Amino acid sequence: MIDKKFKIANKIFKSRLIVGTGKYKSFSECAKAIKTSGADIVTVAVRRVNISNKNKARLMDYIDPKKITYLPNTAGCFTAEDAIRTLRLAREIGGWKLVKLEVLGDKKNLFPEMIETLRSTELLTKEGFKVMVYCNDDPLMAKRLENAGAVAIMPLAAPIGSGLGIQNKVNIRIIRKQTKLPLIIDAGIGQASDATIAMELGCDGVLINTAIAKARNPFQMAEAMKLAVISGRKSFLSGRISPNLFGEASTTNKGII
């Protein structure tokens, strides 16, 4: 298989790793981790990260939006109205139209509220936003989001920040087979092997925040995730051998004395 370029809404990115900007001890630590990760895209929680108050430290003082694509998200929103209002604000502040939609259902599990998510996707698309959508791993709902105009499908691997890794490989495979949109695992990645597995399933990218930001050594973990995504992609493109319940000798029996 020949690798296709990582393209979202007609924009090409070099890295398939997307990194969040929350939970770091400081903006400087965040900036160093992102540089180490090699990520081209960073998610920004518009409601939680300072991007507008020039009298206080701002994220863009440390991460240049001219060099790295900012992806405003709606973290902390629980209704379509809140999410839409937040992204309109992001558009006013920075002119951003490529956005990540996240409408949560409850404060404990942080699962996506899919009815509100679908409604938000439809409304935002009509307003000209390019919507990358955080969603559950339901193939039917993923198809509805695609039909509603989403530019990327972003199913969770496990609850946000849980670090449990991919819990439902079957559904991820089904979503992969049915969509031509970029498929990006969002939420639940805990270690480098989780990122590799996501890429081996055929995902186009992985979004990681907590696993890097809260690691004992975030810079080393950022590099590990970078390499894991690259490794997983190469493994997927190489074509794995067929699983077999029985052993098979590595050398032929022909010519043996």
pLDDT in tens, 175-209: 999 999 999 999 999 999 999 999 999 999 999 99
What confidence category does residue 246 fall into, taking pLDDT thresholds of 50, 70 and 90? confident
User: How many C-beta atoms surround the C-beta of residue 102 within 10 A?
Assistant: 28
CA distance 249 to 191: 33
User: How many C-beta atoms surround the C-beta of residue 189 within 10 A?
Assistant: 30
pLDDT tens profile 93-146: 888 999 999 999 988 888 999 999 999 999 999 999 999 999 999 999 999 999
Q: Which two tokens stand for residue 159?
A: 């609850």
**Is residue 160 predicted with pLDDT exceeding 70?**
yes
Domains of the chain: 12-238 (3.20.20.70)
Q: What is the DSSP string of 27-83?
A: HHHHHHHHHHHT-SEEEEETTTS-SS-TTS--GGGTS-TTTSEEEEE-TTB-SHHHH
Q: Which of 11, 100, 108, 169 is catalytic?
A: 100
Per DSSP, 183 falls in state B
Q: Establish whether 100 is a catalytic residue.
A: yes
pLDDT at residue number 227: 97
